[in-house]
Structure 1
Amino acid sequence: MVKVADVVDKLNARVICGECSLSKEVQFGFASDLMSDVLTIDTENLLLITGLNNLQTIRTSEMSDISFIVFVRDKKVSPEMKELACENEITLLESGLSMFSACSVLNDLGLQPVY
């Protein structure tokens, strides 16, 4: 298990929404820009790593019970995305790292892969 605050620290991430969830822990990570792949995941306590920054990502996460999303490649969260995420208690983070680098850092931190 990895504290969300440690994810923020190691990825040099900005917390966009969900500051009150930083003490929570995540166990698994899944990286994808294909939301159809995300919908196939049936894992609790998951951190989604993606570069797809649109409302579909938030809606997919809501349907998949994903409470934590890291947007990589310096992708920015829109006000509409932030509003929808806050309504659904989804923590949003932004990181300048590439998806590959973020996954490597998170693996070293102890986050487990889904597969």
Structure 2
Amino acid sequence: MEIKEVKGILEAKVCVGEEQLNSNVYAACGCDLMSDVLAFAKEKVLLLTGLINPQVIRTAEMLDIKAIVFVRGKSPTEDMIELAKEKNIVLLSTHYPLYTACGKLYEKGLGGGGEV
């Protein structure tokens, strides 16, 4: 799924990375615990989280996560935006809670990558 489709489905605001919205993601991970995200470890995954912390960007960088969606109307800090620009990571913000955002994406065909 293209990131611009994610933006539309989640009625999301682009915080940084407008020029990368045509990039694809192949699975999604909804999580606030970065150690669990590290265990998930898939490339080209979309991370949905309510955690506003530079560690989220660092974790995404390590796993080649190309886009992060902040849920519940949260917005990244200026430091996070600058770091995401440097690392070419798209940051989006949606008003939906984590559970609802994940469900909307799943309903439109973006799985978690662990389906059989």
TM over 0.5: yes
CA contact (8 A) 1:41 1:64 kept: no
SS at match of 2:76: coil
- Within 5 Å, give how 1:51-90 maps onto structure 2: 51-90=50-89
Q: Distance in 2 between matches of 1:42 and 1:55?
A: 18
- Within 5 Å, give how 1:22-37 maps onto structure 2: 22-37=21-36
CA shift at 1:41, angstroms? Answer: 2.0
State TM-score, norm by structure 1.
0.95
| Structure 2: unaligned runs, 5 residues or longer | none
Q: Distance in 2 between matches of 1:114 and 1:99?
A: 17
Other-structure match for 2:113: 114
The alignment yields a C-alpha RMSD, in angstroms, of: 0.8
SS at match of 2:91: strand
Number of aligned positions between the proteins: 114
Relative to structure 2, which stretch is displaced further, 63-72 or 81-90? 63-72
2:53 alignment partner AA: N
2:90 alignment partner AA: T
State TM-score, norm by structure 2.
0.95
2:76 alignment partner AA: V
Q: Distance in 1 between matches of 2:20 and 2:43?
A: 16
SS at match of 1:39: helix
Q: Distance in 2 between matches of 1:33 and 1:114?
A: 18
